[in-house]
Structure 1
Amino acid sequence: MLLGNWSVRMKEKTPDKPNAKPVAELFMTSYGGVLQGNFGESTRFGEPVADVIAERLPVSTYFGLLTFVLTYLVCIPLGVFKAVRHNTLPDDLSSILIFVGYAVPGYALGSLLLLFFSVKLDWLPMGGLTSEGFDDLSPWAQLKDLSAHTFQPLCCYLIGGFAFVTMLMKNHLMDNLSADYVRTAMAKGVSFRNAVRKHALRNSLVPLATNVGHQVTLFVTGSFLIETIFDIDGFGLLGFNSVIDRDYPVVMGVLTLSATLMLLGNVLSDALVALVDPRVRFE
């Protein structure tokens, strides 16, 4: 609608109508407040964009934080195990499971989980983050309800990152274990366990540290496909619906916040690399 208005005003710029404004000026008039953090009001909700985003951001952050913590908490030890047990039966079996999981998109897994656990077995709820009357439940009942609603979406969020982080950890650890400095340490009498823990492991964490910034952006913005399947009113679904409904103030707010998070994530990655790698120093 706004783009259409710009086109109309551009066409109206004739010698008889010298007051018609150019596109750049119209854009700054409509969205100049974005540079000051003022995104205006949502044309769909009739509320300030900041309030619309703030209402949905905690939902995606909740799933993103769980995904981030569980991914690194499980995949780093699993990658170390696969590297030291390379070409053994546990390594081969875990690789099969990891790559099968990696080949299944998260939204496809979500449909299968809903069909099996929610429709056929009726064990888990169909969607949403909480049930009706959640506030009236006891703390223990609230925890059970939240866990039941979290399980299936969380599996969908985890499935892709598990394979990437695990194999990244395994491959870089294997490269470091075959490096000269590790062989030299073992030749001096350092045990294999200490060589892995004190020498190779720290250097293998550097590629994971560089990937943290990207993960930070993802765990806040979420996935609109997963949120759509499970009817989770989060940040990703908000951005998708805003594009469909041409709610341009919200689109600008979503893009600005995503870009800001990406920049902050890159700064965080650089800081973590400097923390892990003693050769990197800020001057």
Structure 2
Amino acid sequence: MQAYFFRRLLLIIPTFIGVTLLVFAMTRFVPGGPVERMIAQMQQQTQDGGRAVNSQISQTLSQDQIDELNAFYGLDKPVIEAYWDWLNRLVRLDLGESSRYYEPVWDMIVERLPISLFYGFWTFIISYLVSIPLGVLKALKHGGKMDNVSSVMIFTGYALPNYVVAVLLISIFSFQLEWLPMGGFVGDDFDYLDFWDKVWNITQHAVLPMICYVIGDFAILTMTMKNSLLENLAADYVKTAMAKGLSFKQAVTRHAFRNSVIPIASHLGNVVSVFVAGSFLIEVVFDIDGIGLLGYDALMERDYPVVMGILAVSSILLMLGNILSDLCVALVDPRVKFGA
């Protein structure tokens, strides 16, 4: 087993290089890079000032100045050479400097990391604490009224995109009823509150975004748990256990349940990337200054150093999460033996 996980760890390196090299090359060929954005902003400022503006870029910046900007951002080098320089800096945890804010990308990610971790952690806890018991209950009450009603609600929520749910929740609970804040991680007066008022303030702001975060995983985990348990309840080993004198409840808790959580355990590692990456659209709708909103703004503003930094962090976490999934499956299911 140790050899298997060692190979999986080594496989992270070529996978990471392939993913980041592909995206890095795309940022070089997609029009509208940081230099073009800077020139467009200068032209817009000139227009706002009421001065005549020629459509030619050369009247905004000379070619020598444009070449210096390209050299500053590393856009004058071939793709492979520029990628190699970026990779060397990455090893030293140097993700470069934002072309929009002129701040170190690593500092920008670390600054917003606690917010994304907050939502990722509670999404994980709430999803599993609710989905597993509900999935078990739906399996035991299969075909009943409770199962049918909950299935309609679950699939309705799953069918709606989370950003649509976000807009709907804001319209009802924030705009019409005025029960909860419309967005943000904390209120404007947060720094002046005492400890428990701060906790309440964060909770109020977190309710609506948390619903949107949970709703997708909630449906998948619940139905996975239900279907897995139904399959195990129909297995011969459960019938044999009951034939030997175990009650139905004992057969479920001692045998069927443990085997039924194996698919759930395989999904466990996939939520690791959510801890950091969050959701771009949810954070945009609720104006939550996390990594998701940072990534969205970076894409819109062609801030490619930030895009590559977030991609690097999320890619590594996702690959480590897949290895964690294998570990969880091995812990839950003793029958699993990874080849040497």
Q: Please, what TM-score do these two structures have when normalized by structure 1? A: 0.90
Q: Hey, what's the Cα distance between the residues in 2 that align with 1:245 and 1:31?
A: 23
Query: Which stretches in structure 1 are left out of the alignment for 5+ residues?
Result: 13-19
How many residues are matched?
272
Distance apart, 1:202 and its partner CA: 0.6
Distance 1:31 1:270, change over 3 A: closer
Runs of 4+, deviation exceeding 6 Å: none
Q: Hey, what's the Cα distance between the residues in 1 that align with 2:147 and 2:153?
A: 10
CA deviation vs aligned residue, 1:9-36 (integer Å, no higher than 9, x gap) = xxx9xxxxxxx85432233335531233
Structure 2 counterpart of 1:156, from 203, 208, 212: 212
Q: Please give the root-mean-square deviation of Cα atoms over the aligned residues, in Å.
A: 2.1
Q: Hey, what's the Cα distance between the residues in 1 that align with 2:177 and 2:77?
A: 61
Q: Hey, what's the Cα distance between the residues in 2 that align with 1:220 and 1:27?
A: 24
Aligned to 1:263: 319
1:127-276 alignment runs, 5 A limit: 127-276=183-332
Which SS does the other structure have where 2:175 is aligned? helix
Structure 1 counterpart of 2:162, from 83, 106, 117: 106
CA deviation vs aligned residue, 1:99-138 (integer Å, no higher than 9, x gap) = 1111111111111111111111111111101011212101
Matching residue's letter, 2:192: D
Asked whether 1:36 is paired with 2:92, we answer yes
Aligned to 1:86: 142
Q: Hey, what's the Cα distance between the residues in 2 that align with 1:267 and 1:82?
A: 30
Distance 1:35 1:85, change over 3 A: same
Question: Percent same amino acid among aligned pairs?
Answer: 52
Aligned to 1:15: none
CA deviation vs aligned residue, 1:148-198 (integer Å, no higher than 9, x gap) = 100000011111111110000000100000001111111111110011101
CA deviation vs aligned residue, 1:198-231 (integer Å, no higher than 9, x gap) = 1011111111111111111123211111101100
Instruction: Indicate if the aligned counterparts of 2:28 and 2:79 stay in contact, CA closer than 8 A.
Output: no
Which SS does the other structure have where 1:44 is aligned? coil
Q: Hey, what's the Cα distance between the residues in 2 that align with 1:35 and 1:263?
A: 17
Q: Hey, what's the Cα distance between the residues in 2 that align with 1:171 and 1:151?
A: 29
Q: Hey, what's the Cα distance between the residues in 2 that align with 1:281 and 1:270?
A: 10
Which SS does the other structure have where 1:190 is aligned? coil
Matching residue's letter, 1:129: F
Which SS does the other structure have where 1:40 is aligned? coil
Q: Hey, what's the Cα distance between the residues in 1 that align with 2:268 and 2:289?
A: 25
Distance 1:122 1:186, change over 3 A: same
Q: Hey, what's the Cα distance between the residues in 2 that align with 1:45 and 1:213?
A: 33
Distance apart, 1:281 and its partner CA: 4.0
Matching residue's letter, 1:170: K
Give the stretch that moved more between structures: 214-223 or 55-64.
214-223
1:16-35 alignment runs, 5 A limit: 22-30=78-86, 32-35=88-91
Q: Hey, what's the Cα distance between the residues in 1 that align with 2:201 and 2:79?
A: 51
Structure 2 counterpart of 1:58, from 114, 134, 137: 114
Query: Which stretches in structure 2 are left out of the alignment for 5+ residues?
Result: 1-26, 35-62, 68-75
Matching residue's letter, 2:264: L
Give the stretch that moved more between structures: 20-29 or 265-274.
20-29
Matching residue's letter, 2:112: R
Structure 1 counterpart of 2:334, from 248, 254, 278: 278
